[in-house]
Amino acid sequence: MTRPIRVAVLGGGSWGTTVAALAAVNTPAILWARNDDVAREVHEQHTNTRFLEDRKLPESLEGTSDIAEAVTEADVLVVGTPSHAMRETLELAAPHLRPWVPVISLAKGLEQGTRLRPTQVISEILPGHPVGLMAGPNLAREVLDGMAAAAVVAMADDRIAQSLQALFSGRRFRVYRNDDLLGSELGGVLKNVIAIAAGMAEGLGVGDNTRAMVLTRGLAEMTRLGEAMGGQARTFSGLTGLGDLIATCTSPQSRNRRVGEELARDKTLEQIIEEMQQVAEGVKTARTVMELAEEHEVMLPICCEVDAVVNEGRHPRDAYRGLQKPAARSEHHGVA
């Protein structure tokens, strides 16, 4: 008899914990959290109140702060740490991971300095392992509350993707497949920057028409850069593109949207990050996105204004004035 597939999730934040909970319903699963108290609470009390309030987790879900304990027997490794902590975490995990174990990223950012996507960091630290991601319009608390949601497992090997679908699917959580790993990953990266712009619109009270314009033109920017980097245009109209963009730009639970709102209300970025006590990937990603846009000769006016706000101190009010300057061209300019 073969033993059940064992899933290890690295990262005790809201989404890492939620994915571990989804897996634990279907198969043995363990969650590694850097914080001892979080790991102990998950293991003993089956909650993670720091990130998920009093929502109950499956009693079968194990928790640990010992990375060797989490990784040694893993048949699937899920990396749910923020992009800036991924390399360090993987270097700790690497000596304990068996060969050929699939590794799935949940991160939606870019590594600063190298500009590598999370799956590229994984491939660099863990060569020889099949690499993919799971992403979509997924707000952790709603998923744990049993509200219907969907995600995409994106990776080159469709056979492995099919087997992973079953591990994370639930009665109200659907998991699709996509072989466009690059496009799927870029959608998750770029939408966080657009979400800050959407939050700025909310904080400024600019109206529904303007919010709709930001989302629509933001999607055009995502598609434009994504295609220039080798992604498929249709990916950006799917769950990891448009779907994730809508959820992140419209939900009050969105960390990136909240950053934009608070900046528009005259709080400093330092104040906002301290109050949130969580990572908003768009803040760290905005400058890197603009570097990629310059490299690929792509115009991203919304992302450019967000970068100016979070990295150069421009006020959101001035950023929205700046968006009025470029002349309107064909709606499909730059999109194949």
Q: Check residue 1 and give its pLDDT.
A: 46
- Report the alpha-carbon distance of residue 116 to residue 229 in Å, rounded: 12
CATH number of 293's domain: 1.10.1040.10
Looking at the structure, do residues 154 and 240 belong to the same domain, yes or no?
no
**Residue 120 near residue 186 (C-beta atoms within 8 A):** no
Catalytic residue among 56, 108, 191, 267: 191
Looking at the structure, do residues 161 and 196 belong to the same domain, yes or no?
no
Looking at the structure, do residues 246 and 314 belong to the same domain, yes or no?
yes
H or E segment at 64?
strand 62-64
Q: Which residue shows structure tokens 């027997």?
A: 73
Instruction: Tell how far CA 283 is from the center of its chain.
Output: 13
Q: How many domains, the chain? A: 2
- Report the alpha-carbon distance of residue 309 to residue 301 in Å, rounded: 13
Boundary-marking domain end, from 179, 208, 241: 179
The range of the structural domain enclosing residue 263 comes to: 188-322
**Residue 178 near residue 235 (C-beta atoms within 8 A):** yes
What does each of the 336 residues of the chain score in pLDDT, given as a tens digit? 478 999 999 999 999 999 999 999 999 999 999 999 999 999 999 999 999 999 999 999 999 999 999 999 999 999 999 988 999 999 999 999 999 999 999 998 899 889 999 999 999 999 999 999 999 999 999 999 999 999 999 999 999 999 999 999 999 999 999 999 999 999 999 999 999 999 999 999 988 898 899 999 999 999 999 999 999 999 999 999 999 999 999 999 899 999 999 999 999 988 998 888 777 788 989 999 999 999 999 999 999 999 999 999 999 999 888 776 665 555 555 555
Looking at the structure, do residues 86 and 115 belong to the same domain, yes or no?
yes
Looking at the structure, do residues 90 and 217 belong to the same domain, yes or no?
no
pTM above 0.95, yes or no: no
Looking at the structure, do residues 162 and 192 belong to the same domain, yes or no?
no
Looking at the structure, do residues 150 and 225 belong to the same domain, yes or no?
no
Q: Check residue 303 and give its pLDDT.
A: 95
Q: Check residue 333 and give its pLDDT.
A: 57
Looking at the structure, do residues 241 and 219 belong to the same domain, yes or no?
yes
Looking at the structure, do residues 166 and 259 belong to the same domain, yes or no?
no
Question: Edge-to-edge strands of the sheet including 62-64?
Answer: 62-64, 29-32, 7-10, 76-79, 103-105, 131-135, 149-155, 173-178
**Residue 32 near residue 158 (C-beta atoms within 8 A):** no
Looking at the structure, do residues 247 and 264 belong to the same domain, yes or no?
yes
Annotation says 191 is catalytic: yes
Q: Within a domain: residue 334?
A: no
